[in-house]
Amino acid sequence: MRCAALQMAPVIGDVDANLEAALRLGDEAGAAGAEWIVLPEFFTTGVAFDERLAGAAIRPDGAALDVLRDLATRHGATVGGSFLARDDAGVVRNAFLLVPPAGELLGRHDKDLPTMWENAFYVGGEDDGVLQAGELAVGAAVCWELMRTQTVRRMRGRVDLVVGGSCWWSIPEWSPRAVFGRMEIGNAANAAKVASAFAELVGAPMVHAAHAGATECPMPWMPGLRYRGTLEGGAVIVDARGRALARRDASEGAGVVVADVVPGRVPPTAEMPGEYWLHERGLMPAFAWTVQRAHGRRWYRKNVSGRTPYEARSPVRARAQA
């Protein structure tokens, strides 16, 4: 089946602009004959430690679902992507929704653990990420879920296809530049290989969407210090052995990759790791994982929890009215 992975250049915190961009790129994928279209993690907002995200979570049945349904029904495709979704109780999660050509909601996966400063904007979920799409068992996994052994355990030998995406940021070019530069080499290598390594460990092909472009924000608990970096990793489609079928480098910016994929399970060729992490994170990501998690959970309770959803403008409804 023909699959497409979108690569977006998000406007951080601008839900309306990002929904428009997702619809345009999704139409490009549909025009290329894609039967599966995968949008990246946080396709409505991107992510950074930006206060605008505190009020950017939308209803799970709102404008983001409108976009997924419209792409699915108009192009006869199964479409999925994750976004900041605020449920009725005011709780925000990073929710991946999957919609088939008929337009009903097939299922939802809530990312299990927020990464670093993401803790400021949502809380984790508890489902296993395995959704049913007709005869296919589909694993939904986003960003650093692809870094953890527990995600492999949930899906290994159980799924015919893995779908998801990332919003993976670089390590900043702080001084001493030689030290941070070496850290970024390892970070970029992880971003580039996680989808292939995960497919090989699980024994199923993967369609992995991504974000690209420069990003900037304050640093949590570090007054006066700013983060400046890029979103990286690239959109990629890989087979069940982890071999890339199509890839779009982050340097190429927004766009679409398309490839023909054979869904199905194969015996995993990689042994199940015994460690918690599938890949070495490096010193700074390990430090940020701990410190920003502590900061973010407090920030979420104070600034995000219990708010009302942002009422996003639906580009689908706007187009229909026009």
| Residue 78 maps to a domain | yes
User: What value does the mean pLDDT take over residues 1-27?
Assistant: 98
| Residue 163 maps to a domain | yes
The CA dihedral of 296, 195, 44, 319, to the nearest 10 degrees, is -170
| Residue 313 maps to a domain | no
Give the domain CATH number at 16. Answer: 3.60.110.10
Share of the chain above pLDDT 70, in %: 100
Instruction: Domain of residue 192: give its range.
Output: 2-306
| Residue 263 maps to a domain | yes
pLDDT at 319: 81
| Residue 314 maps to a domain | no
pLDDT in tens, 256-310: 999 999 999 999 988 998 999 999 999 999 999 999 999 999 999 999 999 999 9
pLDDT in tens, 162-201: 999 999 999 999 999 999 999 999 999 999 999 999 999 9
When divided into structural domains, the chain yields a total of 1
| Residue 311 maps to a domain | no
pTM: 0.97
| Residue 315 maps to a domain | no
pLDDT in tens, 25-48: 999 999 999 999 999 999 999 999
